[in-house]
Structure 1
């Protein structure tokens, strides 16, 4: 009879293949044993306590707060209309007469308002006290009807 057709390398490859197959089966069994599937609904539930924290225990019904339906507001609450004097006072913080624009610092709100040469009723310079009105422009508030304060 002749020699066996199996060589050493073929035997090693077969051992590796069987070992790999066995490892794969062991991993599948381990995954199945540790699986989260099959948990009861109660195990999967999450609750929010009175402080807004997520917990696995149901909240205490004695700490439940009653909220009237009328107290729930959806959206932004309407701001009361406040009568504001349209004429404001401020100080010119910057004005470039060659470019024709500058900024006025509103004395009441301390915000900076853009002023264009077209919004001036009389010539102004930096650090002048002025009175003005504002209008909403495409990039924010614009000062109009600007004149020196007396």
Structure 2
């Protein structure tokens, strides 16, 4: 007997929630305004639901539109190019370390990034980069 009473109560609650949900849906339909389906770009560049005033438009000629990349001024020296000296280099193991002139930062160098024969203690110039474990020296060559 108790089971049927609880089932009836649950069913009543379920039906009540269903009615409330449908009533809310109907109220929302009646009270809510539909958002505009089409938007215009105004004179100031913002979106607006109203068409912009045609008298405020500016005429743009095709010659005024520049689609290319602006030329950049190339300097002779790379901003990543640094100088330093070879602290350790082992050709058999295939790697070494360079200490930069500006500070005590140590750069890892792989023998594939050497541009000529280099030994321990040589003054070098290189491009600094970032590797998975820290700073890396690339395009390493003797200082002229």
Q: TM-score range by the shorter chain?
A: 0.3 to 0.5
Task: Give the TM-score of the pair, scaled to structure 2.
Answer: 0.45
Larger Rg: 1
Q: Which TM-score applies when normalising by structure 1?
A: 0.43
